[in-house]
Amino acid sequence: MPGISLTIADYDKKALRVDSTDYEIYYFKGHDYFSKYFEPLSDTLPGVIREVKNSLEIEKDRDYPFGKFVLAETPVQFATYARNWKGYTEYVMPEILFVPERGISLGQDFEAERRRMNEWGRHGGPMDETEQNISLFNRFVSSLTSENSQNGWNPDNKLINKSNITPMLFGHTNYISSPEYPVIDIAVNNMMNTSSDQGFRFWGGIINDKQRANLYLESHSFETAIGDTELKPEIFYELLKLKSAALNNYITSQITQEDFNKFLKAFFTSRQFQNIPFDTLRYEIEKRFGIRLSDFIDTWYTASHTPTIYIKDVDANQIVLDEFTKYQIKFKVNNPSDIDAIISTEVMQGGGGGMRRGGGMSFETEKKNYIIPAGEAREIKIISDERPANISINTNISHNLPTSHNFNFSKIDNTISDTTSGIYPINPDVFKPNPNEIIIDNEDPGFRTIASNNRHKLKDLFKKKDDEKYKNFMPWWMPSQWTAIAADYCYGETINSAVYKNKGSGANAVEWKTEIPKDGYYEVSIWNAKMSGRMFFMDRRRGRHKEERNQTYTIQYDKEKESVTLDLDEETEGWVSIGNFYLPQGEVIITLTDKVSGDYVIADAVKFTATEE
């Protein structure tokens, strides 16, 4: 047990024994605001508690290790230090949860919940009193088992749930000691107890504390982060989760997650309430699976930079075998860095594609992890029994921005005979640039923004300097200056970004400049960083469903100048041709101003492709 907690007060007590566990509530005199809602359950409450406990143990794949569970009321001014890096707060102790006075901050208003139940009823008719009380109890318990709570309207902004009791099943039952890696106990417990946070992204935004943690690791090690007093606790917590996931991904790239979970459960259950040397865990993993953690763990702890990952040729094909149809998803990945990378894939099966993750429909998913050695390239092939809707490829701890990309398979028309699956070495030369193409991205030296000389407003002089280069796209707020955004619908080999601002008079512009190597015909294309249906919600709020979003591109070469206007809402996401041009050898400039018909202007990449004509 990591510590002993003591609370002394003039308490009243309620207690109930269910099976081999004692359940106790200690509350201040006169603060029994809850009993009346559960007295009708006196006969059924033991069964309800048993069911809730069994459900939690099944979900977390751990047995509750203590002989009692205590809720102890504390004064409203009681507080603990925020230690997000532990994955739980000090409100949660072995056997004990300290509850704020009268349940303040738990968000449980039993009377208001009951009124809502009476007003809304439920599918099939209103609830009777017993059903209402069981529902109230279950909702209260669910508030004690969620990992995070949302802070505001953005689901990427999360606060750790200070009343989350699930660490009682993990962090309070063992301790892994290591003088070389002092954070290993917390990392392993996070690996076992932290749920996946894949899912809906608000408006496609990816700049959050998880991404900030990934950016931090581009130039800092895990070892450095532990002693960095300037690092915000919420970012360190996300960094810890990234590193915990990396440890798990390394192991499960070689064995199944199910086998690893079974091993961990058996290992820690047989050593409950013991101080376990990390070398013991490392030895048992190697003995059981042949996986040498020593080949990985030192780099995991001390590496002060991250790999850069290139992905290309993501495709899905059907395989017809007699009367059965299977599907093969394949793609190529290159790691030119001097440090190994681990990527994760998750295939969503079912549906007809054309939808991003978190869109409100249920799909079967299958996650796999792959090690991409430093300086090497691989082709990955995945066989799916059901039609894949899309694949999510996550580069995890890497230089990439964003780290997660979704590739939709709206149509799968091609039929192949290749039934292989796995990871195969390929020549990194397949990632060499196409010699017939010139691409200038907004991240390249050939791109620049041109700002007007308008005087700044007085309030701008007092704005706090923001060191973050990239922002999330906000459809209700358009910046007055060119602002960089990062999202998976933008172009980029490793950094998918663009710049945007609100519409203007044409005084602000962007410019792409390159050298054409020889006279000839070139198809010129622009990358349409189209946010698909992301603007539909805002259009509905404004009472409209369709608005032209014209942007005019001016191509200047030699002494010629030509302009082409595109309605980007009418064009597909990705490369859009603006025409074929005969270009002489020498400098070519493409310009886009902020004089547009829509609410905003967005600039990403341009491409010149040499053609025969």
pLDDT tens digits, 470-510? 988 887 788 999 999 998 899 999 999 999 999 999 999 99
Give the phi and the psi of residue 93 in degrees, each rounded to 5.
-125, 170
Question: 511-541 burial string, b = 16+ CB within 10 Å, else e?
Answer: bbbbebeeeeebbbbbbbbbbeebbeeeeee
Coil, helix or strand at residue 318: strand
Q: What is the mean pLDDT of residues 24-38?
A: 86
Residue 466 has pLDDT above 70, yes or no: no
**pLDDT tier at 37, thresholds 50, 70, 90:** confident
Residue 447 has pLDDT above 90, yes or no: yes
Q: What is the mean pLDDT of residues 227-250?
A: 92
Tell me what pLDDT residue 458 has: 52
Residue 5 has pLDDT above 90, yes or no: no
Tell me what pLDDT residue 369 has: 97
- Is the model more confident about 237 or about 460? 237
Give the integer Cα–Cα distance in Å for 87 and 166: 10
Q: Residue 451 corresponds to which amino acid? A: A
Tell me what pLDDT residue 157 has: 52
Q: What is the mean pLDDT of the chain?
A: 85
Domains delineated in the chain: 11-168 (no CATH), 174-302 (1.10.390), 310-428 (2.60.40), 437-610 (2.60.120.260)
pLDDT tens digits, 387-428? 999 999 999 999 999 999 999 998 898 999 999 999 999 999
Residue with the two structure tokens 């056997």: 95
Tell me what pLDDT residue 375 has: 97
pLDDT tens digits, 212-231? 999 999 999 999 999 999 99
Residue 181 has pLDDT above 70, yes or no: yes
Tell me what pLDDT residue 379 has: 98
What tokens does 8 get?
A: 């002394």
Which residues have CB under 8 Å from 121's CB, separation 6+? 127
pLDDT tens digits, 254-307? 999 999 999 999 999 999 889 999 999 999 999 999 999 998 999 999 999 999
Tell me what pLDDT residue 510 has: 97
Tell me what pLDDT residue 524 has: 97
Residue 464 has pLDDT above 70, yes or no: no
- Which of the residue ranges 165-169, 373-377, 557-561 has the most confident prediction, judged by mean pLDDT? 373-377
Least confident of 95-104, 190-199, 235-244, 492-501: 190-199
pLDDT tens digits, 51-92? 989 988 888 888 899 999 999 999 888 877 766 666 677 888
**Percentage of the residues of the chain whose pLDDT score is greater than 70:** 84
Tell me what pLDDT residue 472 has: 85
Give the phi and the psi of residue 113 in degrees, each rounded to 5.
-65, -40
442 in Cβ contact with 497 (< 8 Å) = yes
